[in-house]
Structure 1
Amino acid sequence: MGKSVSKLSKDELRSLKNATYFDKRELQQWYKGFLRDCPSGQLLEEEFIKVFKQFFPFGEPLDYCHFLFQAFDVDKSKFIDFKEFILALSITSRGNLEQKLAFSFRMYDFRRNEKIDYKDMLQVNRAIYKMLGNMVTLPDDQNTPELRTKKLFLLLNKDPNHDTINLEEFKQLLMKDPNITNALHNYDGLV
């Protein structure tokens, strides 16, 4: 799907319809819009950042966009094709909690080694805090990315200096921190 074609084939439509929460009409509309914005059929990181910045005018989303772009770019091609775009959009906007958690884990697991250490989580949390800027007031025990990251590790009885978090443990955080559930539902029904 890297080349520009004005319409999705019947096979592509059927495949995407089965893999997403979008119907045929929605997929065709999203594809038309994707090609309008990315005539080559490839969304580069710089373009992704430009679009994303519009949603966070009071913060600096550059670093966050980098991690999010990597999560979308499943095949590590350095661009997002329509299939990667629509699958990620489907999960983030209409997916169930399990799917959203797995997608979030993939963003934190940017090294793709199926585990997150303190430094990895801190990098992503710093990016989130920079993106949000002063838009959100946080409790004292998590008003910095360092405090937030340490709190998440301690919720799992993990030592931030030595331990890592795998996907199953990441899912356990959901039960221990309601802020995660709220964040994962931010885009429900958006599209």
Structure 2
Amino acid sequence: MGSSNSSADDINALEIHHWYRKFMKECPSGQLSLHEFKGLLGLQGMNPEANQYIEQVFCTFDMNKDGFIDFLEFIAAINLVLRGKIDQKLKWYFKLYDADGNGSIDRKELLSIITAVQAINGHQGVNPEDFTAMLFQKIDVNGDGELTLEEFITGIQKDESLLALISKSFDLSNVLKTIQNGRRKSIP
């Protein structure tokens, strides 16, 4: 009766055990600080925009806001990246973009994040100003210059090209690959 459920539970338990070993190898204290996070991903010494983005990503994963990512927060992040549904990921992106935490994204916040992502990823496609203008033109339904969570999710889901662009730009699977393969070597 429970054999198929048991198999699924075993796989999940094995995955969790694997990630726990990796996490504890990289963070023997059981808590990952911002400095360790940057070091783990080889993202130290970035320009101010990129650094701000890295800090914002860290803060969104630090759910209890204690200045560390513990194992439960880490597993929640992995689950979002690997198995999260698109609406869950869009909610996370919204939280990431909403730098001041006021429940809406203004042009300045979006421009700042897009600039930072391009600084890290080196994407040369659309410049940040044009991307920000295009996104607001397409999904700012009431034209108030701010995107609510509902406008953001609905607008992105309705536009396949925006969804693909945002998903590609903010794909964090490379972060997981870095952790899974061990620390990056520092570049002198």
- TM-score normalised per structure 1: 0.72
Provide the residue aligned with 2:127 in structure 1.
144
Structure 1 CA distance for aligned equivalents of residues 59 and 85 of structure 2: 21
Query: Do the aligned partners of 2:156 and 2:162 also contact (CA within 8 Å) in 1?
Result: no
1:123-145 deviations in whole A, cap 9, x for unaligned? 11111110122xx341xxxx221
Structure 1: give runs of 5+ residues left out of the alignment: 1-16
Structure 2 matches for 1:1-191, cutoff 5 A?
23-53=12-42, 61-133=50-122, 136-138=123-125, 143-157=126-140, 163-171=145-153, 172-184=155-167, 186=171, 187=173
Alpha-carbon RMSD: 2.9
Residues 19-71 of structure 1: CA distance to partner in whole angstroms, max 9, x if unpaired?
xxx701111111121111111111111111122237xx9xx953331121111
Aligned pairs, number: 161
Give the match's secondary structure for 1:165: strand
Q: Is the 8 A contact 2:62 2:69 kept in 1?
A: yes
Shift in Å, 1:158: 5.9
Q: Could you tell me how far apart the structure 2 residues matched to 1:61 and 1:118 are? A: 18
Where do 5+ consecutive residues of structure 2 fail to align?
1-7, 181-188
Work out the CA distance in 2 between the residues paired with 1:175 and 1:118. Answer: 20
Offset of residue 108 of structure 1 = 0.7
- Kept in 1, the 8 Å contact 2:80–2:89? The answer is yes
Tell me the amino acid that sits aligned with residue 164 of structure 1: E
Aligned to 1:14: none
Deviation at 1:184, TM superposition (A): 2.4
CA drift at 1:109? 1.5
Residues 95-104 or 61-70, more deviating = 61-70
Is the helix fraction higher in 1 or 2?
2
- SS of residue in 2 equivalent to 1:111: coil
